[in-house]
Structure 1
Amino acid sequence: MSGVEPRSVLSVGATLGEGPVWVARDAALWFVDIKGQRIHRFDPELDVARSWATPGQVGWVLPTNDGLFAVGLQSGIHRFDPANASFTLLHAPEAHLPGNRQNDACVAPDGALWLGSMDDAEQDASGRFYRYHQGRCVETGLPPVSITNGPALSPDGRILYHTDTLGKRIWSSTLDDDGAVRDTSLFVQIEEDAGYPDGPTVDAEGCLWTGLFGGWAVRRYDPAGALIREIRFPVANITKIAFGGDDLSVAYATTARKGLDEKALAAQPLAGDLFAFDPGATGLPGFHASV
């Protein structure tokens, strides 16, 4: 594709589109609508899409090493089989926090799932980050916040980026060989009136991209935290991007209708759609979770 200006490639009208991920084995982009309780699959080559209903709010969908998917439902981490639309509970890290839900996740080079939770009411600082690997779930020890986003990992898997959305802060931490989180420092503070940092993604050059909810844009920051690019959208709520295509050179962005009144929706008819644009960068190959 050509042209930086984002264009809608799939009209889904998602209430809260999130978690785009390119799955090379399918040559397709997968993403979710958290509030709409749907998993979506988009094949850009054939320009066809399919979706599945989920038994509860769904924060993310990621491929697993057994050919299926791991899915973050409000009730916990599940294995999802698209062939029969079945969901099997693997672990419930926050069964004691029924007001929380899962919000975002990524897969590390070792197959570990890194995931974050949040207060569904977006008020209490009850959201935490976890590492789930081969049936074992460990809380990272990072300070709890109301809305977590990410995490995302540097190309070498040694730096963990994690977002406090309401605090408008993106943090970075170093990781030990065993996955322990160390040396957390502020990576980026989003300024006032620029929206809220949503899902982060790291490209092949180690630069971090973040969607800006209410900010009408996605941004690219270099590894030192300097802003080097901003791409404007025709909709306000951009939640996260993923790199896709055979050479991972196309950026796909999920968006949301959540929080928009009738007047805003009339002015943003593409809100909630899946967008694509040329980012001028390539992404990192994805990994499969070892669940």
Structure 2
Amino acid sequence: MTGEPHSVLDVQATLGEGPVWVKREQALYFVDIKNHRVHRFDPQSGEQRSWTAPCQVGWVLPAEDGTFLAGLQHGLARFDPANGMFAVIATPEASMPGNRLNDATVDADGRVHFGSMDDGEEATTGRLYRLDGGAVQDSGLDPVCITNGPAISPDGRTLYHTDTLGRVIHAVPLNEDGSCGEPRVFATVDAADGWPDGSVCDAEGHVWIGLWGGWRARRYAPDGRIVGEVRFPCANITKIAFGGADLRTAYATTARKGLDAAELEAQPLAGNLFAFDAGVAGLPGHLARLG
């Protein structure tokens, strides 16, 4: 945790989220949920490309067939950057119009673990699901208002699942078939430090958490101890992703959402994409298997 974060892309996202390193392109993808945008950043050239989603988009993940899986407001969709089209493939919460999909990760078998949330950030209607072989299955975990993370340990045996408003990160055993065991509390976040947002694991099995309203990202040891922090010049840090040829560059998405005019003036870099030297390598990403 040696590097100081610096802004590498001035996008001023309302709600930047879901950064993911795409090895086949050596590029970083991320989204601006509230502005319905998917962004691609090439760190070698500095070039940016963007696409407009049909509604709020929580994340995009590279898939085995060369396209992407997108978590749209009301369902999963195949996203093809070649033509900018989104084709819905599943609507797990069709009867819950107040919910939207929020965050996701892929395990070593190509299963996609993804969560939902109440878009009004009040009702306890957010659940964790997995897409396995083309079918969506409920994790069976208790619902929360805002699901976040999730992240998977290097050995694939633990899923870290965040209850953002509860300020709790749970460690959940993952069975061989991708189903979840009994969760335990991995870490809690004090009110003065903000809310735990997205998470990701590094190659040493430590968990990185972006802190909304906390001006920082934290690194937690596998036993839940805080072992480091990276401070940012803006308050809302949403999620970290590891990229670059050696996976040692950490990228961070941030957000302008909820900041008033005075706060935005004091945080001119809010909503931008940041990068810093993580001092440790991340994990190679897995490709989503769409069925």
| TM-score, normalised by the number of residues in structure 2 | 0.99
Give the whole-Å Cα distance in 1 for the aligned partners of 2:112 and 2:52. Answer: 23
- Structure 1 position 236 matched with structure 2 position 235: yes
> CA 1:3–1:172 in structure 2 vs 1: closer, same or farther (change >3 Å)?
closer
1:183 alignment partner in structure 2: 182
- Aligned pairs, how many? 290
| Partner amino acid, structure 1, of 2:276 | F
| Partner amino acid, structure 2, of 1:69 | F
Give the whole-Å Cα distance in 1 for the aligned partners of 2:175 and 2:240. Answer: 27
- Cα-to-partner distance string for 1:103-152 (whole Å, 9 max, x where unaligned): 00001000000000000000000000001022111000111000000111
1:274 alignment partner in structure 2: 273
| Partner amino acid, structure 1, of 2:154 | P
1:119 alignment partner in structure 2: 118
| Partner amino acid, structure 1, of 2:36 | Q
1:82 alignment partner in structure 2: 81
In structure 2, the residue corresponding to 1:172 is in which secondary structure?
A: strand
Instruction: Give how far 1:279 is off.
Output: 1.1
- Cα-to-partner distance string for 1:39-98 (whole Å, 9 max, x where unaligned): 000000011000000000000000000000000001200000011111111100100100
1:28-43 matches, within 5 Å, as: 28-43=27-42
Unaligned runs of 5+ in 1: none
In structure 2, the residue corresponding to 1:253 is in which secondary structure?
A: strand
| TM-score, normalised by the number of residues in structure 1 | 0.99
Give the whole-Å Cα distance in 1 for the aligned partners of 2:2 and 2:138. Answer: 42
2:262 alignment partner in structure 1: 263
1:1-291 matches, within 5 Å, as: 4-291=3-290
Instruction: Give how far 1:3 is off.
Output: 5.9
Unaligned runs of 5+ in 2: none
RMSD: 0.9
Contact 2:2 2:279 in 1 (8 A): no
In structure 1, the residue corresponding to 2:265 is in which secondary structure?
A: helix
Give the whole-Å Cα distance in 2 for the aligned partners of 1:95 and 1:135. Answer: 17
Instruction: Give how far 1:192 is off.
Output: 2.0
Runs (4+) of structure 1 exceeding 6 A deviation are none
In structure 1, the residue corresponding to 2:181 is in which secondary structure?
A: strand
| Partner amino acid, structure 1, of 2:53 | T
Give the whole-Å Cα distance in 2 for the aligned partners of 1:157 and 1:51. Answer: 32
Give the whole-Å Cα distance in 2 for the aligned partners of 1:224 and 1:63. Answer: 30
